[in-house]
Structure 1
């Protein structure tokens, strides 16, 4: 009986959520561990940092629309994210960071013009 209730509730939630969707992915690039010596016989293991991930959410019922993608290769990180703000405008941010130049971001805003339809 419990299983039937869970199934019915799952279907109800899926139907109530409308046609929204979300997705995500993560790609890890595992390398070989390299020892890092700190002197006095003490050492840690270090793995070269490399990954890529992203996600997207689009829910017309709640108005939640956002996405992000990021890539890291060693000390360099780059990516972008975008989201729809409550007023309907969009914010798009592209960023990059590394040991040589620091963190830099470019922010752009977009406006979605809403044209009212009048019925006479």
Structure 2
């Protein structure tokens, strides 16, 4: 199952970093558990794609897959600064993402991408 989960993780990363919302919806289960420290009441998919579009680059720094769980750490680059984003996915037996937990570097977001924080007060 790890290979299938790795494939789902790769497709997930490609979808959100390239703003392919239809691919994100195809990968998400019907009622996924979503947790984030950036605007938890906002539109998750919109925040994902806006975040990616605001950056110069996003690369996977580290990926760990154990059973149906994936831990990803990203390097996010904007201008001369690189900062981190951590993401945790749970993939079910049919290959759908049932849980997404994201931990943004809120200090970096506040300094470099303050428009993303407007809806999170």
One fold, TM greater than 0.5? no
Q: Which has the higher helix share?
A: 2
Q: Which has the higher contact order (CA 8 A, sep 6+)?
A: 2
The structure number with the bigger radius of gyration is 1
